[in-house]
Structure 1
Amino acid sequence: MVTPLDLDQLRTFVAITETGSFTRAAEEVFRTQSAVSMQMRRLEERLGKTLFEKDGRNNRLTTDGEKLLLYARELLRLNRETLAAFDEESLEGHIRIGMPDDYADRFLPEIMTRFSRSNPRVEMSIICEPTVNLITQIQQGLLDVALVTDHAPAQMVRREPLLWVGSANHETHRRAVLPMAFGRPTCTWRQHGCTALDKIGRDYRVMFTSYSATAIAAAVLSGGAITIMPECSLRPGMRVLGEADEFPPLPDCVIGILRRPATQMDVVDAFARHITESLDNISATLIETSEDVDFNNGMRHMRRAKRMRPDHILPGW
């Protein structure tokens, strides 16, 4: 019979990657640093794989270490969900959640599924509006937590390349005057796009304006416009446009969690944790699910997205 993996060892392994330090991980799991080092040696022996490699005075996760990290987080999540299913004192209550609909299609199913399994007694109210509206509602106490874009006070949970996108079935990007589809004038991505095009003197005209990501995507897929979106929002039939198409580079898109001021709700803390875990899981599968997107000259963005994964440089044993 195959001996199962030790969840305590996996918990320590994840703590090391999240804190970036064996010493800080030891504090997180209430063990000595020597005990943490011994746990990692036993875990490597159990798997028959090297999880860390020397990088100067530091240790870096190997390819096998990065692979294990995905499974370790999933196993720990399933363990929490199993215990929660039999916990009669599990979290209860109501949480009000907001996020832009650019993210809702991609992120919401994963987040909702994970959270509801672990917290079946919590009711969720969800709204999808632009970041500027979500910030106002957080400040007014109308939302408990929101996933927002490029807002400094928010806790950053994900960084993605921002891409120029057109239809894979049309040559819209070759028009003398580019037809553009954007969010409202307050949209940060719109401002980045207009500034970049103005800077290189590329002629364009805003043809479609909408808060709806679905409407923007429809304009693009029909060949009616070019737009800007983060990698997570790409859909089959879209084409990423790069420098060879005379489209300038754009800044990254930063996604963060914003909480209602002064909130001390355990359910909000739990939901924020589930957002982070869900986005980690989505990061692991994003490239696989993007196979139907034509990256054409935008392949540099795919390589860039891979480099944005944490290097997991860790202090010595």
Structure 2
Amino acid sequence: MAALLDVDQLKTFVAIVDTGSFTRAADVVYKTQSAVSMQMKRLEERVGRPIFARDGRGARLTEDGERLLDYARRIVHISREAISAFADDALTGRVRLGLPDDYAERYLPEILARFSRSNPRVEVTVLCEPSDHLINLIARDEVDLAIITHATRKPVGEVIRQEPLLWVTSQRSLVHEEPVVPLALSHPACVWRESAVAKLEEVERPHRILYSSRSFAAVGAAVLAGLAVSVVPESALRTGMRVLGTAEGYPPLPSCKIALLRNPGAVDETVQALADHIVASLDNMSTEFAAAEAAE
């Protein structure tokens, strides 16, 4: 039978990769540098392949090391979750989370999966409402945390994710070429709707609101049926949608910014734990994208 991988060795391996050196990793895992080196030697023996390149460039991984890294992160993460699940001081209680239905469809599965594995005794109550409603619910102490669309005109919450906002139509339709563009958009207070209309007005392109709904599923159905043009964040693209750009006469849109809004009266550990999982799941604000935004 093949020997099992040692979790402590994998934890050290991940620390080396994350810190960029054996020396800094030793501080993170509270070991001497020689102990760290010995662990990596034994890990390589157990794997049967070299995982660090021997070219004087420090902690550069080999191709096999890169393959091992993904397994190592998952094994270490699952080990920590297992310990948390059986800890006597495991979190308990209930958290009330609010978010729009389209965010629930895209982000909620990963958020809940991550959170429930680490905190199996916590009950999460989910409420799907538009962002403007959620802001009011937070103010009325009816929700502990809310994932909302960040509006420049009335900025609230901590921006935790941003991505391109895109014009879309059906791949099977030429509705985007009509003299008066039919639009399927959310409710009048929606930030994305305001941006879409403002951009078309800037380029003096005739348009009309053909479908209006607070339901993202309904708006997406109108697009996929070839009835209208809409705007969606990059992560919301569906099979059958075609992205439109300047070549088709559709001007660039501002980025979609997603924020986490916290109830100032809900400050217990359970709420904070869910907030941390939300940020970890959605935080993709790369420096390259931020720089591009600043240059616009």
Fold match (TM-score > 0.5) = yes
Q: Could you give the per-residue CA deviations for residues 141-166 of structure 1, whole angstroms, max 9, x where no partner exists?
A: 11111111125442332211110011
Match for 1:156: what amino acid? V
Aligned with 1:203 (options 206, 214, 235): 206
Aligned equivalents of 2:255, 2:42: Cα separation in 1? 36
Superimposed CA distance per residue, residues 117-137 of structure 1 (whole angstroms, 9 cap, x where no aligned partner): 221211111011111111121
Q: Is the 8 A contact 1:14 1:72 kept in 2?
A: no
Q: Is the 8 A contact 1:14 1:73 kept in 2?
A: no
Quote the residue 1:268 is aligned against. 271
Q: Distance in 1 between matches of 2:99 and 2:121?
A: 22
- Uncovered stretches (5+) of structure 1, i.e. residues with no partner: 52-58, 284-304, 311-317
Distance 1:84 1:220, change over 3 A: same
SS in structure 2 at match of 1:215: helix
Aligned partner of 1:85 in structure 2 is: 85
Residue identity in the other structure for 1:118: S
* Separation in structure 1 between the aligned mates of residue 289 and residue 43 of structure 2, nearest angstrom: 26
TM-score under structure 1 normalisation?
A: 0.72
> Percent of aligned positions with the same letter in both sequences?
40
Aligned pairs (5 A) from 1:171-190: 171-190=174-193
Instruction: Check the 8 A contact 1:99/1:127 in 2, yes or no.
Output: yes
Deviation at 1:80, TM superposition (A): 2.5
Asked whether the equivalents of residues 97 and 125 of structure 2 are also in contact (C-alpha less than 8 Å), the reply is yes
Q: Equivalent residue for 1:104?
A: 104
Look up the SS of the partner of 1:276 in the other structure. Answer: helix
Measured against aligned partners, the alpha-carbon deviations of 1:164-206 in whole angstroms (never above 9, x if no partner) come to 0111111111111100111112111111111111111111101
**Shift of residue 114, structure 1, vs aligned partner:** 2.1
Name which of structure 1's ranges 151-160 and 107-116 shifts more when overlaid on structure 2: 151-160
Question: Looking at CA atoms only, which structure, 1 or 2, has the larger radius of gyration?
Answer: 2
Q: Helix, strand or coil for the counterpart of 1:164?
A: strand
Change (3 A) 1:3 1:172: same
Q: Runs of 5+ in structure 2 lacking a partner?
A: 54-58, 292-296
Partner of 2:248: 245
- Tell me the secondary structure at the aligned position of residue 143 of structure 1: coil
RCO comparison, higher one (Cα < 8 Å, 6+)? 1
Tell me how large the CA RMSD over aligned residues is.
Answer: 3.9
Contact 1:91 1:119 in 2 (8 A): yes
Output the CA distance in 2 between the equivalents of 1:16 and 1:82: 25
Quote the residue 1:314 is aligned against: none
User: If the length of structure 2 is used for normalisation, what is the TM-score?
Assistant: 0.77
